[in-house]
Amino acid sequence: MKIILASQSPRRRELLGLMGLTDFAIIPAQGEEDLSAGLPPDKLVEALAAAKAKEVAAQADPSDVIIAADTIVTLDGKVLGKPHSGEEAFEMLRILSGRTHRVYTGVAVLQGQRLELLHEATEVVFRPLTEGEISRYIATGEPMDKAGAYGIQGRGALLVEGIRGDYFNVMGLPVCRLGQMLKAFGIVTL
């Protein structure tokens, strides 16, 4: 049995290391994310994480434990995925400015036919942002591969006034809850 992370996210790799997991393989899922499934955010992130886990499991041994995750940002019922352009990033950050939004992460752990799913939701409060601040942040390049066009663990921390919930969830992996999931699969992290 080996542990496989179905993600190319450096943040998720870092967080698994934080959990004490150092011996794991990385096989990123390649499938296209469909954010238009019409599901509520909690079910959407679970479905996306499950699809990633199943895709990678098709290449793995049935005894391997696959960890997959997907993160989205929602505001007023609208899902904000990763921006495809600087203009899209600007619009996302503009509508998040001075408001509270939710970050959802779905996590799937799969071994053979056993699939466990969960989601975590965290509220994030942005301070009011000027157009200049938004433009300068976009110029860093940081927003372009992140849901909601920001990374709380980087320069995006300067946008965040506060959070209610799991900080690591906003980074893309709710480590406390994942640790409990892995324990049920016989993988002890603490």
Residue numbers annotated as active site:
70
Contacts of 58 (CB under 8 A, 6+ apart): none
Angle at 181 between CA 44 and CA 79, to 5 degrees: 20
Query: Using the 8-state DSSP alphabet, how is residue 72 labeled?
Result: E
Phi and psi angles of residue 47, each rounded to the nearest 5 degrees, phi first? -65, -40
Burial class (CB in 10 A: 0-12, 13-18, 19+), 165: middle
Tokens 């049920």, located at residue: 184
Distance CA 82, CA 89 (A): 8
Distance CA 4, CA 18 (A): 16
What angle, rounded to 10 degrees, do the helices at 131-139 and 86-96 form? Answer: 140
Residue positions counted in the chain: 190
Pairing relationship of beta strands 3-5 and 24-26 according to DSSP bridges: parallel
Partners of 70 in beta bridges = 106
